[in-house]
Amino acid sequence: MRISTTARLAALAALLVFASNLAVIGYVRTQTHDDTVAQLESEVAEQADALQAVYRSGGEGALARAVSALAASGDEDLVVALAGADGRVRQGNLKGPLAIGRPASFRIAPPARDAAPSGYVVRAVGGGWLLSGRRADESLLLQRALERALLVSGALSLLMGALGGVIIAYFVGRRLRVIAGVVDAVAVGDLSHRARIVSGGDAFDALAGRVNMMLDRIEGLMRELQLLTNSLAHDLRSPLSRLRVKVERAVALDDGPQRDAALNGLIQETDIIMRMLSTLLEIGRLETMHGRSQFDWIEPSALVSNLCDMYEPVMEDARIAFSAAVEGPILPMRAHGELLSQALANLVDNAMRHGCQGDGGDAIAIRLSAHGNELVLAVEDRGSGIAPEEEGEARRRFGRLDAARSRPGAGLGLALVEAVSRMHGGRLELANNAPGLAARMILPTGLAALG
């Protein structure tokens, strides 16, 4: 039979409360139960054994005389009685019928209806009962009362523990049902719901916070998917239209050289579309990549040096002042060297396309530095930069600050750089270079961050 979590919580709470009270009862019982009870029990047993010996040697008559003698001895603490089968006292210092109906081992209780509490035993003799005991003092009575109170409190603790467990399970279930309700709403397509955080800082608030973070991420991905779909359709329309026009022209041409030139134009347009789709697929692959199996030890300084060797001729032809600086000792790190090179090349391409005016006064610098446990790869230009309110659009896939989209490009460069940065556990920062833009890839160098 399967037991619900609510029932388990209630049972666990009840058992914990009962166990704690049982431990208290045991401790109090151990501390209060001294040798007084044992001594009283021993005295009563000896007295009863002596009277039974008299009965065995002299019969009921001798026992009756012995009981009468003890009752008349003047010992006020002594309790002794010889009663018939109906409990009525025939000899002794007790009045009224005895509160017995069978032989009894040592007990502390009133032996008769109006008698004081005593420690006594009951033995069967002949056709009646022999009661022998001594009156209990106040400390002993207090012990017995305390023990009974502890037993009652133990039973109550079990009941209250069960009740407390039910209440706890109710509140736990209510919090979980609220979170489950949010998940159910999201399952049917409503992404506006969020789990309520009570600000108690408990595990439920932590769970609600994680669920909200997940929903924020899902909502952001859904918005990005919608924007991506719209942007992809918009950005592919122009090259596909140009491609169609060039195909029609190429088909209509009879001249071989002209047809070849038109076909070369087709290849260029096709390459633009293929690069756009390849970059988009690469971004998607990076954002779903969780492992670090393709990471290896690389020299960041060598990566920057190789990139500079590749771009120096291009920069020289474009009359752009190009420089690279490595600040301080740079230690090797585990990373995906090919993707870092591609991301850094994207930043350089962006700087050439958007940060240079072509007037001969343009400058682009690559800076490599280490700050604590972080490596900084920066590309700086002296162009117009990006306004803070436009930064989000620049980071978005297919985001274009050129509303007319008159400049070449698909708006995927920074999106790819940001995806590579996140893949390495880092981030992309866009800062004002006063003037111009400083795009910085900030990556953790520790193995723990990359592991």
Query: Please, which pLDDT band fits residue 295 given cuts at 50, 70 and 90?
Result: confident
Residue 24 falls within a domain, yes or no?
no
Question: The domain spanning residue 411 has which CATH number?
Answer: 3.30.565.10
Q: Which domain holds residue 220?
A: 203-286
Q: Give the model's pLDDT for residue 377.
A: 92
* Same domain, yes or no: 432 and 312: yes
Q: What angle do CA 395, 376, 332 make, to 5 degrees?
A: 130
Q: Give the model's pLDDT for residue 110.
A: 84
pTM comes to 0.44
Helix (H) / strand (E) containing 82 = strand 78-83
Question: The domain spanning residue 45 has which CATH number?
Answer: 3.30.450
Contact 131, 100 (CB under 8 A): yes
Q: Give the model's pLDDT for residue 141.
A: 57
- How many Cβ atoms are within 10 Å of 342's Cβ, its own excluded? 15
Contact 424, 442 (CB under 8 A): no
**Two structure tokens written together for 280:** 């988009």
Question: pLDDT digits over 399-447, tens only?
Answer: 554 443 444 444 566 777 888 888 888 888 888 888 888 999 999 986 4
Q: Give the model's pLDDT for residue 356.
A: 80
The count of residues in the chain is 451
Q: Give the model's pLDDT for residue 53.
A: 92
Question: pLDDT digits over 333-379, tens only?
Answer: 888 888 888 888 888 988 888 778 766 678 999 999 988 888 999 99
**Structural domain total, the chain:** 3
Closest Cα partner for 449 from 422, 416, 420, 419?
A: 422
Last residue in a domain, options 85, 105, 136 = 136
Quote the strand ranges of 278-395, DSSP E.
296-298, 321-327, 333-335, 363-371, 374-381
* Same domain, yes or no: 238 and 315: no
Alpha helix positions (H), 253-318: 256-287, 300-317
* Same domain, yes or no: 83 and 230: no
DSSP string, 171-213: HHHHHHHHHHHHHHHHHTT-TT------SS-SHHHHHHHHHHH
Q: Give the model's pLDDT for residue 50.
A: 92
Compute φ and ψ for 369, nearest 5 degrees: -150, 165
Question: pLDDT digits over 128-178, tens only?
Answer: 889 999 887 655 555 666 667 767 777 777 777 777 777 777 777 777 788
- The percentage of the chain sitting over the pLDDT mark of 90, rounded to a whole number, equals 11
Distance CA 364, CA 46 (A): 111
* Same domain, yes or no: 334 and 445: yes
Query: Following CA atoms 68, 69, 74, 77 in sequence, which dihedral angle do they give, to the nearest 10 degrees?
Result: -70
Question: pLDDT digits over 100-142, tens only?
Answer: 667 778 888 888 877 888 889 999 888 888 999 988 765 555 5
Higher pLDDT, 16 or 333: 333
Distance CA 142, CA 125 (A): 33
* Same domain, yes or no: 354 and 417: yes
SS3 102: coil
